Amino acid sequence: MNSDSSYKNRKVISIGVVKELTGLSERQIRYYEERNLIFPERTEKGSRKYSFFDVERLVEIANQREEGVSTDEIRRDINKRDKEKLKKEDIRKDMLKGQLNARFGIQKK
């Protein structure tokens, strides 16, 4: 994971800041969580914490909703993209393993 994605995935942003960054209301943000479109972490006291990635996703969701896309369609699209991303990461890992194996003469048994 590169440094860009590591800070983007850290859940450190409060809902108040997310409201300011996205222009969404707390109710809208919570609704998107209820619809399984975002997944904030909870502190010990129950406060939600979001990542920069969550903020980007919320803006994307809001834009799609303005275009009339349903939350079910958005969730299907997100799930599809997430699966494709995982598949690409698996392929990348396999390629790196192969390169390391070739470089250091490690044979699969």
What's the residue count for the chain?
Answer: 109
pLDDT in tens, 56-78: 999 999 999 999 999 999 999 99
Residues 6+ apart with CB under 8 A from 73: 64
Q: What are phi and psi of 83, to 5 degrees?
A: -65, -40
Q: Which amino acid is at 69?
A: V
pTM of the model: 0.72
Taking all residues of the chain, what is their mean pLDDT, rounded to a whole number? 89
List pLDDT tens digits, range 85-96: 888 887 888 888
Q: What DSSP state is assigned to residue 106?
A: P
Fold for the domain defined by 3-104: Multidrug-efflux Transporter Regulator; Chain: A; Domain 2 (1.10.1660)
Token duo for residue 97: 């393993």
Q: Answer yes or no: are the C-beta atoms of 62 and 24 closer than 8 Å.
A: yes
